[in-house]
Amino acid sequence: MTPPAYETARLLLRPRTPADLDACLAMDTDPDVMRHVGGVPAHPGAYRQELAARLAHTPPAGFGYWSVFVKPAPGRFIGWVVLVPHGDDPDLVEIGWRLRRDAWGNGYATEAAAVIVRHGFTSLGLTRIVADVHPDNAASARVAARLGFRSAGPALYGGEPCRRFVLDRG
């Protein structure tokens, strides 16, 4: 089951496809975008292959990545939102977001992630969603707070320290 596409007041979200590869790679070469998620890939060719494999992977039904576009320029990729089983604990479901630097500060991450949170709770029947945020990523912590997530304290993601935020279905 391919996840549905969504539309908000300002954004279009559609399931990410292999056609998004170059836009994702361009975003992931920006050191500011990648500062809190492992940095710019050290080996671009290997990263391209890894990302292409990820784009071709079919997640469990209803889960996945959504590419985000602004309505006035529907071909302008500004980032993605993801809802998938947690990489370290498959009993958890995680949400994440990444935006191009030129899209920061507009509320797009909150607007896009809110739709996907609602999808998780209503379409998938989830009872809890987590967001793991790098300890120094104040902007993503603010997005999580605006979405209603509460701090659950420190955690590990992929062996790295993070701050865990939790949202329970209300």
Token pair 């997640």 is found at: 59
If one compares 160 and 1, the residue with the highest pLDDT of the two is 160
Tokens of 33: 């975008």
Q: Is the pLDDT at 88 greater than 80, yes or no? A: no
pLDDT of residue 1: 66
Q: How far is CA 95 from the centre of its chain?
A: 6
CATH numbers and ranges of domains, the chain: 6-168 (3.40.630.30)
For residues 74-90, average pLDDT: 91
**Tens digits of per-residue pLDDT, 128-138?**
999 999 999 99
Cα–Cα distances in angstroms (integers) from residue 67 to residues 7, 146, 151, in the given order: 12, 21, 27
pLDDT band at 122 (very low <50, low <70, confident <90, very high): very high
Instruction: State the chain's mean pLDDT as an integer.
Output: 94
Q: Is the pLDDT at 55 greater than 90, yes or no? A: no
Give strand pairing partners of 157: 160
For residues 143-147, average pLDDT: 98
Written as one string, the DSSP assignment of 65-134 is: EEEEEETTEEEEEEEEEEEEE-SS-TTSEEEEEEE-GGGTTSSHHHHHHHHHHHHHHHTS--SEEEEEE-
Give strand pairing partners of 73: 70
pLDDT of residue 87: 78
SS3 56: helix
